Structure 1
Amino acid sequence: MSVMLSASGLSRRFGGIQAVSNMGLEVATGSITGLIGPNGAGKSTLFNLLSGVIRPQAGKVLYKGQDVTRLAPYKRARLGMIRTFQLSREFGRLTVLENLMLSPQQQLGEQLFPLFSKSRAVAQADDVVYERALEVMEIAALTDLRDKYAADLSGGQKKLLELARTLMIDCDLILLDEPGAGVNPALMGTLMDMIRRLNTDYGKTFLIVEHDMDLIGKLCDPVVVMTEGSFLSAGPFDDIREDPRVIEAYLGGVLLD
């Protein structure tokens, strides 16, 4: 399989703390790759380095073979690399439908001049975005909530909305930061089904950082393990959970289950 995202030698220090040290990983095209590790392992910092939220002090990030190490997050997004956050960042005063319609980048109606000189083209483009939003709401099981304000959604519904917003963008790689956090069991199955569908039916590649080992075990192959800011191991989840080094990293021998 081809490699969609790769990192090598990534390092980042904050004051006297070495958050990430000489870290590397690969995300194969079409995979759902998991990233795990004990608290303080450096997963969140690595995610920020991969997505461009912060820059590494050493190392390189390649997306589809292109060096994006110093690109801003919005420039990586335009290349097709999208990232979500542990705490959903929806527009609370907009409805579910409006949140989705706002998501596509560089819409014609965002510019002042076309609003007057190309009003018909702007209206046609808006119609296309609207129809796409209806399709995405159906995929994400959000149709019944289309007119509900995002601020009034439950934690799980906000996660579905955030994931749905990535579908409104022309992207190939989605970095998910703890998608299961704050999601109740009733919606967890819906969330996992949506990730699988985006992967199998829409060809989206995923890198998921998550503490919920049940979600990782059911969704991800392979799984990458970090500890103390560095790479520890990688492989199928069943192999990872039996790896003595991984078990030791998780607080001295607690078996992952």
Structure 2
Amino acid sequence: MSNSHDRAAARLTARGIVRRYGGIEAVGGVDLVAPPGRITALVGPNGAGKSTLFDCLAGTVRPDAGRVLLGGRDVTGLPAHRRVRLGLARTFQQIAVFPTLSVADNVRVGAEQRTGRAGPAGPAEARTVTGQTLAERTLTERTVTERTVGALRLFGLQGLAAEPAGAQPTGVLRLVELARALAGGPRVLLLDEPAAGLDAAQTARLVSVLRGLAERGMALLLVEHDAELVAELADTVYAMAGGRMVAAGPTATVLADPRVTRAWGAVG
């Protein structure tokens, strides 16, 4: 993402997001910006509304009010798979992999989701239902393979590529999920507790990868309970409590804010 258009597209904005469940307002009028080339953290105690806000941003939940913008485009009404096609990817707090597929095939799913790749090609003289010629499909297949291999290499998973995902420990599965998200070549990446289950070496690799992605112009937004990791990684922090933002700004300032330390017991 070297030009200004790509960097502009790598901006996620939430304006006045409201989400209610019955009579309970889980998220109440929240504003947030995840700019390109920066790592933004979202912190707060359990029940603060962070996951609900993430779901609204990713498209798995539609807000009752407010807008979500990807680049300058209003995507509030778009489902999650349409946002993926536009360059937004996410990981989940609860690891979500396909246990019967190999590690490589799990990662490959992410690359195929972004390209919108369809099923097997038909006769050479015909176009597929997606409007692609066989030559175009071959190019798509090459892109998918290259992205899959690149994502596996990024997280040091090459040696496990052919192994079934279901046989891997939690830390490896977390990296598989991260690799799958990155295989789609997103402009914006939402990470829900990405370091959960990682050992020290895996966490160090994660930190290096995320910093590298930000340096290349990606917008990263992460929910994280590890205050030390937030302090090490994030450029900007938003702090939620009771469904609302209680503080936002530079990392050191927010983590030292008494409103945040009172609400978020993880800050030490």
Alignment TM-score, normalising by the size of structure 2? 0.86
The alignment's C-alpha RMSD in Å is: 2.2
Report the Cα offset of residue 116 of structure 1.
3.6
Following TM superposition, the consecutive aligned residue runs of length 4 or more in structure 1 with deviations greater than 6 angstroms are: none
Q: Is the 8 A contact 1:225 1:231 kept in 2?
A: yes
Match of 1:151 in 2: 166
Distance in 1 separating the partners of 2:202 and 2:61:
32
Match of 2:96 in 1: 89
Report the Cα offset of residue 91 of structure 1.
1.6
Please give the secondary structure, in 1, of the residue aligned with 2:256.
Answer: coil
Distance in 1 separating the partners of 2:12 and 2:174:
24
Report the Cα offset of residue 123 of structure 1.
4.8
Instruction: Please identify, of 87-96 and 38-47, the stretch whose mean Cα deviation from structure 2 is larger.
Output: 87-96
Match of 2:62 in 1: 55
Specify every segment of 5 or more residues in structure 2 that has no aligned partner in the other structure, as ranges: 1-6, 125-132
State percent identity of aligned pairs.
38
1:244 to 258, 263, 267: 258
Q: Is the 8 A contact 2:225 2:266 kept in 1?
A: no
Q: How many residues align?
A: 252
Cα shift readout 1:161-204 (whole Å, capped 9, x = no counterpart) = 1111122213100001111122233321122222122222x432
Match of 1:256 in 2: 267
Instruction: Please identify, of 219-228 and 3-12, the stretch whose mean Cα deviation from structure 2 is larger.
Output: 3-12
Please give the secondary structure, in 1, of the residue aligned with 2:213.
Answer: helix
1:130 to 117, 134, 145: 145
Report the Cα offset of residue 248 of structure 1.
2.2
Report the Cα offset of residue 132 of structure 1.
3.2
Question: AA paired with 1:58?
Answer: A
Please give the secondary structure, in 1, of the residue aligned with 2:11.
Answer: strand
Distance in 1 separating the partners of 2:61 and 2:164:
31
Alignment TM-score, normalising by the size of structure 1? 0.89
Question: AA paired with 1:175?
Answer: L
Specify every segment of 5 or more residues in structure 1 that has no aligned partner in the other structure, as ranges: none
Q: Is the 8 A contact 1:156 1:188 kept in 2?
A: no
| Structure-2 change in CA distance of 1:116 and 1:237 (3 Å) | same
